[in-house]
């Protein structure tokens, strides 16, 4: 499963990219606002940090303006994935862009039928929002299972990008279901490395090593 980080904070992106485990980045208009930086400038910087896909979202609602915005975004770098909302105009834009060889991430997916439409529109990635789904009392991970089943039934190449990830269990369940990608905030990715028994084990080993009086090299 690929790991994308869901942020426009370039300090966090640099730190996580240095682990060698980061496969891409997703942003959205709210994350750009939170960064306090100019949209195109920050996307260009992120594209220089990671080689993998960097999602940058259009804000227009009509196809023609979406295409104009996508033109600007895809010129930033080859690894830009244009993010479009799951609407009729968004999917029309998706079809046109992917026919041209541009990566497209279809965002704000909340049903398996929407995911089916995105795959038919040639989406590179479909982003079902599991956390927001859970927030309204629905089963976010159940949605991922349904999409996996449907995509496998028809051999769709669209990658399932689990979005709106809130905690490590979302990551674990995504991997068990066989999602292709998950995108999570930096704090959730850092949590994945942590286990109290790992810390306790290191502490015990180092205490015994110190008592042995040895050094390596
Ligand atoms: C995905 O691409 C979105 O940016 C993101 O995962 C939204 O997450 P949220 O529901 O925590 O805002």
Model pLDDT, residue 7: 98
Model pLDDT, residue 9: 98
Please give the distance, rounded to the nearest whole angstrom, from the Cα atom of residue 92 to the centre of ligand 1. 22
pLDDT average, residue stretch 31-45: 98
Model pLDDT, residue 53: 98
Model pLDDT, residue 173: 98
For residues 77 and 50, give the distance between their C-alpha atoms in angstroms, rounded to a whole number: 11
Model pLDDT, residue 16: 98
pLDDT average, residue stretch 120-135: 98
pLDDT average, residue stretch 51-57: 98
What ligand 1 atom has the least distance to the C-alpha of 31? 4
Q: How far is CA 74 from CA 125, 165, 207, 215, in A?
A: 16, 26, 54, 53
What ligand 1 atom has the least distance to the C-alpha of 166? 11
Query: In which band, very low, low, confident or very high, does the pLDDT at 41 lie, cut at 50, 70 and 90?
Result: very high
pLDDT for 194-214, tens place per residue? 999 999 999 999 999 999 999
> Whose alpha carbon is nearest atom 11 of ligand 1?
164
Model pLDDT, residue 10: 98
pLDDT for 67-102, tens place per residue? 999 999 999 999 999 999 999 999 999 999 999 999
Model pLDDT, residue 2: 98
Give the DSSP letter string of 57-125.
E---SSHHHHHHHHHHHHTT-TTEEEEEESSHHHHHHHHHHHHTT-EEEEEEE-SHHHHHHHHHTT-SE
pLDDT average, residue stretch 189-198: 98
pLDDT for 132-182, tens place per residue? 999 999 999 999 999 999 999 999 999 999 999 999 999 999 999 999 999
Q: Which residues line ligand 1 (CB under 6 A)?
A: 6, 26, 28, 107, 127, 129, 131-132, 163-164, 183
Pocket test for ligand 1, best of 27, 28, 46, 82 (most atoms within 8 A of CB): 28
Query: In which band, very low, low, confident or very high, does the pLDDT at 108 lie, cut at 50, 70 and 90?
Result: very high
Catalytic residue list? 83
* Residue 207, phi-psi category: left (phi > 0), alpha (psi -120 to 50), beta (remainder): alpha
pLDDT average, residue stretch 93-114: 98
Query: In which band, very low, low, confident or very high, does the pLDDT at 34 lie, cut at 50, 70 and 90?
Result: very high
Model pLDDT, residue 75: 97
Pocket test for ligand 1, best of 4, 5, 6, 136 (most atoms within 8 A of CB): 6
Pocket test for ligand 1, best of 131, 133, 180, 187 (most atoms within 8 A of CB): 131
Q: Which domains does the chain have, with CATH numbers?
A: 2-212 (3.20.20.70)
């Amino acid at each position: 499963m690929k790991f994308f980080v869901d942020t426009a904070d370039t300090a966090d992106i640099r730190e996580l990219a240095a682990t060698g485990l980061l496969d891409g980045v997703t942003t959205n208009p709210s994350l750009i606002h939170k960064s306090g930086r100019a949209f195109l400038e920050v996307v260009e910087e992120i594209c220089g940090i990671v080689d993998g896909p960097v999602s940058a979202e259009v804000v227009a609602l009509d196809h023609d303006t979406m295409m104009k915005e996508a033109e600007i975004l895809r010129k930033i770098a080859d690894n830009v994935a244009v993010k479009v909302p799951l609407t009729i105009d968004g999917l029309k834009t998706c079809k046109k862009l992917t026919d041209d060889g541009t990566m497209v991430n279809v965002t704000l997916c909340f049903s398996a039928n929407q995911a089916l439409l995105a795959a038919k529109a040639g989406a590179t990635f479909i982003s079902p929002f599991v956390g927001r789904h859970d927030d309204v009392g629905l089963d976010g991970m159940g949605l991922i299972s349904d999409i996996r089943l449907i995509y496998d039934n028809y051999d769709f190449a669209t990658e399932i990008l689990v979005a709106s990830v809130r905690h490590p269990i979302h990551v674990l369940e995504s991997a068990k279901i066989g999602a292709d990608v998950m995108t999570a905030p930096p704090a959730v990715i850092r949590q994945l490395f942590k286990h109290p028994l790992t810390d306790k084990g290191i502490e015990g080993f180092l205490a015994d090593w110190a008592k042995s009086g040895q050094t390596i090299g």
